[in-house]
Amino acid sequence: MDNEIMTFKVISDEGKEVECEVLFTFESDETKKNYIVYTDNSLDEEGNVRVFASIYNPDDEETKLLPIETDKEWKIIETILEELQNEANSGESKE
């Protein structure tokens, strides 16, 4: 299995180039949209790694990250993150 880390660069609000790591992408059957979940590996006040999510179109030549605007969409993403966190915490490693 290929565990290559996918990264991309964004320009921050301060105008700095920031490298982000793609955690996962998925298409929701419910919303019919594609989502990308990623991190810049920065930490929040509690010391947790910051995670971001956006809508994107995998068919676009130049990927544009669009904001997620509905609570329903955020709930879908939060549920997936919780499931992944629970798997990681339970020590289920798939080698």
**Assigned domain for 61 exists:** yes
C-alpha 83/C-alpha 1 separation (Å) is 22
Structure tokens of 86? Answer: 């629970």
In a domain, 27, yes or no: yes
In a domain, 81, yes or no: yes
> How confident is the model over 7-47, as pLDDT tens digits?
999 888 899 999 999 999 999 999 999 999 999 999 999 99
The strands making up 52-56's β-sheet, listed across from edge to edge, are: 7-11, 17-27, 34-39, 52-56
This prediction has a pTM of: 0.80
Expressed as residue numbers, the domain containing 48 is: 7-89
Number of domains in the chain: 1
Strands 34-39 and 52-56 turn out to be antiparallel
Does any domain span residue 85? yes
